[in-house]
């Protein structure tokens, strides 16, 4: 039986991941044009420690390419409508997600 060093609970009962997502202050979702007038969706405000994993999951859920750097997730294409339900499914609270 392993114990989580952060919360002190058993590994299978650990709630650290959920608590970290709820502590996120605010997630901002918007689109912008990049090179060659291509539209990209930008997701800002995700914790640096969860950035790579969240980007990977979003790219998989939305079937698009993208990257995670400088504290933002960049998704190829206009995915503003689909990002919010995807983030909620990943465990982020709906009230902290702002779409512009």
Domains and CATH numbers, the chain: 26-99 (3.30.780.10)
Give average pLDDT by consecutive 10-residue segment, the chain, 100 residues.
Answer: 73 70 75 89 88 92 91 92 90 85
Neighbouring C-beta atoms of residue 17, cutoff 10 Å:
14
In 3D, which of 19, 90, 24 has the Cα closest to residue 54?
Answer: 90
pLDDT of residue 65: 92
State if pTM tops 0.75: no
Q: Sheet holding 27-33: strands in order across? A: 66-69, 72-76, 39-44, 27-33, 97-99
- Paired residues of 98 in beta bridges: 28
């Amino acid at each position: 039986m392993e114990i989580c060093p952060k919360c002190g609970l058993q590994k299978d009962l650990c709630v650290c991941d959920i608590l970290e997502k709820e502590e996120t202050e605010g997630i901002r979702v918007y689109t912008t044009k990049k090179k060659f007038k291509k539209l990209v969706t930008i997701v800002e405000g995700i914790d640096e420690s969860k950035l790579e994993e969240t980007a990977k999951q979003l790219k998989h859920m939305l079937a698009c390419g993208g990257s995670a750097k400088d504290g933002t997730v960049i998704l190829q294409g206009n995915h503003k409508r689909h990002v919010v339900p995807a983030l909620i499914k990943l465990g982020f609270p709906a009230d902290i997600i702002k779409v512009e």
